[in-house]
Amino acid sequence: MKTLIDNNRILVILFMLAIFISSCKKDEKNELSRTELLTREWNVTSIDGQSVLDYAGLDTLLIKFESDGDIKMTWKYAGESMTFAYSWSWKDNENTLQIIDGSDTYDWVVEKLTLNEFWFNDSSDQTMFKCSSN
């Protein structure tokens, strides 16, 4: 009788362990990739610790990453706006964004990337940008 109870306990423990392991795998699948986190519109909130207005004289600077490798930067000032189109790709194990403007390329080292925050350092001039998602 004791052996039967011990075997039942082992089966219950194994069953619970299997459920726990399978639930952990489902959680991992719900994590967003770095591309999924990046591909949205970002509002630049500060450049080198200053507001966009103080640093660049702009009311708003928006950066929109598309999953197909397109990026659009929109500058807004005094009711007017200008949009510039570039391309982007990952490099350095998705720690650096390569921004392509015709024959010129720029590296943006990603310092922080979450659903709500995107911080990067433009390696060409060591300028730190902090952005929030719209």
Is residue 26's pLDDT more than 50? no
**Does 40 lie in the same domain as 103?**
yes
Tokens of 72: 């659009």
* pLDDT band of 29, cuts 50, 70, 90: low
Average pLDDT over the chain, rounded to whole? Answer: 87
Q: What is the pTM of this model?
A: 0.76
- Which tens digit of pLDDT belongs to each residue from 100-124? 999 999 999 999 999 999 999 999 9
Number of folded domains that form the chain: 2
CB 74 within 8 A of CB 97: no
Provide the CATH number for the domain around residue 74: 2.40.128.280
Domain residues for 73? 34-133
Residues 64 and 8 in one domain: no
Tokens of 73: 């930067």
Sequence-distant (6+) residues with CB within 8 A of 19 are none
- Do both 70 and 25 map to the same domain? no
pLDDT in tens, 40-60: 999 999 999 999 999 999 999
Helix (H) or strand (E) holding 10: helix 2-29
Whether 98 and 86 have beta carbons less than 8 Å apart is answered as no
